[in-house]
Chain A
Amino acid sequence: AQKVTQAQTEISVVEKEDVTLDCVYETRDTTYYLFWYKQPPSGELVFLIRRNSFDEQNEISGRYSWNFQKSTSSFNFTITASQVVDSAVYFCALSEVTAGNKLTFGGGTRVLVKP
């Protein structure tokens, strides 16, 4: 069965510090997708990134970067030079093609960026 673990429940940093969110997943499929979503206090889910299992290239988007390592089943997310607006809950999620692409979410990591 698919499973996503976000071991960090809450991280508190001071503005401009870097913060890395860990995500470890379990799947028996060879074809799957990994996601990160941001959920600010307003509650909506904001899509950040999707990565398929065949693309291990790391990605950078502005202050965000992602490190996908199949060997350790991890898909970690780093926010560089954090800002107060980054305060939110961040979810890692996995979907398996054989399971209809339904998403399995991790428990989320709450990031609090203090000014």
Chain B
Amino acid sequence: GAGVSQSPSNKVTEKGKDVELRCDPISGHTALYWYRQRLGQGLEFLIYFQGNSAPDKSGLPSDRFSAERTGESVSTLTIQRTQQEDSAVYLCASSHYGTGWYGYTFGSGTRLTVV
């Protein structure tokens, strides 16, 4: 597609349930990033994938959070045993490294509400 696609756009879940968020990057983009934005706050880095290298998980807030990416395609962010503080917008971005670096394209995000 032309842009980064995220699904679902909105998700309401009960506390304690697991959720999966999906990100479809721009075709050919080797790098993929996940960010979290709590209400009224800035974006927090969660995890970064670059090609076949080991992901940079340094931003994951707890072991309830995990993410996978198959090759240079779709990524899923999984939150287990959701808590109310997990309520936020989860944004995905992809990026291309070629003869230079061309910046990021962000998706529209998934708004997660834990009730």
A residues engaging B (CB < 8 A)?
33, 35, 43-45, 47, 50, 91, 93, 99-108
| Interfacial chain B residues near A93, Cβ < 8 Å | 43
**Other A-B pairs beyond A33-B101, A43-B89, A105-B42, 9, CB < 8 Å:** A43-B109, A45-B91, A47-B103, A50-B103, A91-B43, A101-B95, A102-B48, A103-B43, A103-B104
| Interfacial chain B residues near A35, Cβ < 8 Å | 103
Mostly helix, strand, loop or mixed at chain B's interface?
A: strand
Q: Write the nearest CB–CB distance from A58 to chain B, whole angstroms.
A: 20
| Interfacial chain A residues near B44, Cβ < 8 Å | 105
B residues engaging A (CB < 8 A)?
31, 33, 35, 41-45, 48, 50, 56, 59, 89, 91, 93, 95, 101, 103-104, 106, 108-109
Given contacts A100-B48, A103-B45, contact A43 B56 (CB under 8 A): no
